[in-house]
Amino acid sequence: MPFAPLVLATDALLWALVAAVAFYAWYCRRKPHLAAPWKRVFQSPAAVITSVVLVCYAAIGLADSLHFRPKLEGGDAYSPEVLSVLDLALAGLRERREKTYSAPLATRLYARETIELPDGKSTREFPRLRHGGAHLADESEALKDILIKGGFGLLAALILSSLIFLSTKPLQKRWADVPWLSAAAAWAAILAISLPTAMLAARYHVLGTDKVGTDVLYQALKSIRVSLVIGTLTTLVLLPLGIALGVMAGYFRGWIDDAIQYLYTTLNSIPGVLLIAACVLMMQVFVDRHPELFDTAAQRADFRLLVLCAVLGLTSWTGLARLLRGEALKLSQLEYIQAAHAFGVSDSRILGRHILPNVAHIVIITLVMDFSGLVLAEAVLSYVGVGVDPATTSFGTMINAARLEMGREPIVWWSLAAAFAFMFLLVLAANLLADAVRDGFDPRVRMGTVPV
Amino acid sequence: MLAYIVRRVLYAIPILVGVNLITFLLFFVVNTPDDMARMQLGTKRVTPDAIEKWKADHGYDKPLLWNAKEKTLTKTIFFEKSVKLFAFDFGAAEDGRDIANEIATRMWPSLALAIPVFLVGLALNITFAMFMAFFRATYLDFWGVVLCVAMMSISTLFYIIGGQYIASKVWHLVPISGYDGGFDALKFLALPALIAVIAGIGSGGRWYRTLFLEEMSRDYVRTARAKGLAESVVLFRHVLKNAMIPILTGAVVVIPLLFMGSLLSESFFGIPGLGSYTIDAIQAQDFAVVRSMVFIGSVLYIAGLLLTDLSYTLVDPRIKLE
């Protein structure tokens, strides 16, 4: 085989999560009462548009979650460098490295260099880039070239978008409630940005290059995976703890309630960043002590990412547990639960059949709401130095590196701008979707007692 | 009232014991002091002698829980490092300075930044939320919410980096970073305070708007409107007063935590407060300081919970703490 597949722990969990979501969607389709709130959610144009955006992010993140090690040339060994399918797709961006900083769409470096002239003298000037715009014989053609390439990209986007708009007609007939036109508009906007970018990226560095000459667009795209992993895998720790402990505290009451309340007050009282920092510092010591556990640097970084998710989950289940405790407390007083008691239904059955389904909406709302907060937290934690592995590309490490570049004269703004744009779009989409989900699932909104 | 306070303070003890146990487990049981020593000294070429010396210097050369040699509980790491926290005896940091002393001096710059941010932020957020609630279901409200969601989707790091760049580097209004005592502090604190307030508007404004709207869907508001009261009177006289309870729930609990300072602002703007102290300690992997800050944070959080309960009695005559 020309490559050896490598399944990182976060890859496996991420794909398992995708499978779980797919199963949930399939299950919902068969149960009208479960599908109803989702139908309400997807009646709102905001939800549809943001889902389109999030699907694009998820696609990039998932393509970046299929890892392998290519075979080294002329040998049986596999490279220690771990690549992903996304790296393959962006091979051009990854390999076309410059010497150092270059501005977006520039043809020359951002720093002067001493260049030997043919006649033996030397001069200091901005040298041409190795790749950015290297196909041009005459640099002054650059603007024209960029406009033509961008124009072609826009044209392609226009054609594709009109096809998408045409295809909404039959969809609208089949599912009349969903605002398909909004979805098509979102796709059109994404195509209008991404296709010209793709056209230009083949010849230029659309978002410039960083200090060591890496393409910033490539970095930004690679950062998406970390955000998705942190935003989603954290829930794998958060959910079981939050649901089990919260519901049990509210349902059983008495000493169980006291014990669980004690547990979450204690955890809550430790400042979050400090608890995370303490856990991550300790994990670092563990990793340093056991180098034999990790074959490649990627696996070590991945372990760190996984532990970060677990730690974030351990520190953030308390909010969900408190909400569920209150709800379970209320539910366990209701007549139908008392009736179940009177019929001799066992506690575990009451919890599973009667309480859990009735708190599911709270769980879903919390999950969606937490996502954006976790993505933002990653950036802050990486700044503090307790986030992802410094070698991993993430929005946090990008901002951290870019912050020092703001002090340069003239300033290097594009790394920060790229991280800002990609992160802002992701978090904004997640926030808007969370609002739509909350409105769709909140029974009070449905009954019209709370204005939206 | 006094009995209630005493009872609550007594409740706090098991929680602090729990916090101590958790930090003890994290810091000493998951990893041994040997690992810490190796990390502090650098992973390569560490002689056993150097590790022993580091442990002896920092007081980590004792048994964890039970000193079998001297048959005592006191000469152990648990007693020396964890139990002593209860007496606010934090020991020395990695650089040899007394942590308690350091905290006492660094507390003031932290407070100088955190208190104005808290007060101005609270007032501004509530005003903005009232504005949106007053114009609810109009375009003003809609765009207000859009603005809030957009603002809360921006990482605090961007607010700080952007604000610092524009105000200090482009406009040269204030120094980029640093700190000075007395009135000079003002010019160093103005920008971080402004940025912190702006960064908080998004989530704060939206949160209070939800509170107000929830409150406005209650029956007494309908009654007030039916009486013919003007909407502004309803909002300011009735809704604002009744929304005090949920507002206090969120606001009072953080008051004691203001002591802890703000991690990001302080480290970006070079303010020598407790927030930057914490960050420096995390980055230098100074476990003694991190442990002390965890303990102080928990004490302050519990104090915040108690204050919240007490503040309810001030705004709601129905609540009596017995």
* Helix locations, A253-355, DSSP H: 254-269, 272-289, 297-331, 335-342, 347-349
Provide the percentage of residues in chain B whose pLDDT is more than 90.
32
Residues in chain B within 8 Å Cβ distance of A267: 22
Does B282 contact chain A (CB < 8 Å)? yes
Q: Is there a contact between A451 and B264 if contact means CB atoms under 8 Å apart?
A: no
> Strand order in A3-6's β-sheet?
A3-6, A67-70, A83-84
Which three-class secondary structure state does DSSP give residue A437? helix
Distance of CA B243 to the CA centre of its chain: 24
- Residue A5 DSSP code: E
**CA A211, CA B71: separation in Å to the nearest integer?**
60
pLDDT band for A157, please (50, 70, 90 cuts): very high
Which three-class secondary structure state does DSSP give residue A108? strand
Q: Under a CB-based contact definition with an 8 Å cutoff, are residues B20 and B82 in contact?
A: yes
Does B298 contact chain A (CB < 8 Å)? yes
Residues 261-280 of B with CB under 8 A from A: 263-264, 278-279
Q: How far apart are the CA of A139 and the nearest CA of chain B, in angstroms? A: 31
pLDDT of residue A60: 95
pLDDT of residue A14: 94
pLDDT in tens, A165-211: 998 888 888 888 889 999 999 999 999 999 999 988 888 898 988 88
Which three-class secondary structure state does DSSP give residue B48? helix
Helix (H) / strand (E) containing A73: none
Bridge partners (DSSP) listed for residue A71: A78
Q: How far apart are the CA of B279 and the nearest CA of chain A, in angstroms? A: 6
Does B297 contact chain A (CB < 8 Å)? yes
User: Residues B91-111: what's their mean pLDDT?
Assistant: 86
Helix axis angle, B33-41 to B48-58, nearest 10°: 110
* Strand pairing category for A113-116 and A83-84: unpaired
Helix (H) / strand (E) containing B278: helix B274-283
Residues in chain B within 8 Å Cβ distance of A428: 149-150, 153
Structure-token pair, residue A266: 């204690």
Question: CA of B302: which chain A residue's CA is closest?
Answer: A269
pLDDT band for A404, please (50, 70, 90 cuts): confident
Q: How far apart are the CA of B71 and the nearest CA of chain A, in angstroms? A: 30
What is the interface pTM, i.e. ipTM, of the complex?
0.88
Residues in chain A within 8 Å Cβ distance of B309: none
User: Residues B273-295: what's their mean pLDDT?
Assistant: 86
pLDDT band for A440, please (50, 70, 90 cuts): confident
Does B221 contact chain A (CB < 8 Å)? no
Q: Mind giving me the DSSP string for A378-399?
A: HHHHHHHT-SS-TTS--HHHHH
Nearest one of A384, A424, A418 to A400, comparing CA atoms:
A384
Q: Mind giving me the DSSP string for A403-419?
A: HHHTTSSS---HHHHHH
Provide the percentage of residues in chain A whose pLDDT is more than 70.
98
Residue appearing with tokens 């997640």: A430
Does B237 contact chain A (CB < 8 Å)? no
Q: How far apart are the CA of A269 and the nearest CA of chain B, in angstroms? A: 5
Structure-token pair, residue A158: 């226009």
Q: Is there a contact between A385 and B278 if contact means CB atoms under 8 Å apart?
A: no
User: How many CB pairs (< 8 A) connect A and B?
Assistant: 134
Does B143 contact chain A (CB < 8 Å)? no
pLDDT in tens, A212-264: 888 999 999 999 999 999 999 998 889 999 999 999 999 998 899 999 999 98
**CA A137, CA B199: separation in Å to the nearest integer?**
48
Structure-token pair, residue B95: 């650089």
Q: Is there a contact between B294 and A274 if contact means CB atoms under 8 Å apart?
A: yes
Please count the other Cβ atoms lying within 10 Å of the Cβ belonging to residue B150. Answer: 15
Could you say which of A270, A380, A403 has the minimum Cβ distance to residue B297? A270
User: Residues B35-56: what's their mean pLDDT?
Assistant: 73
Structure-token pair, residue B298: 């928990």
pLDDT of residue A253: 86
Residues in chain A within 8 Å Cβ distance of B216: 451
Q: Is there a contact between B153 and A450 if contact means CB atoms under 8 Å apart?
A: no
* Helix locations, A42-136, DSSP H: 45-63, 85-89, 91-95
Question: CA of A419: which chain B residue's CA is closest?
Answer: B158
Q: How far apart are the CA of A428 and the nearest CA of chain B, in angstroms? A: 5
pLDDT in tens, A25-73: 999 989 888 888 898 899 889 999 999 999 999 999 999 999 988 888 7
Does B314 contact chain A (CB < 8 Å)? no
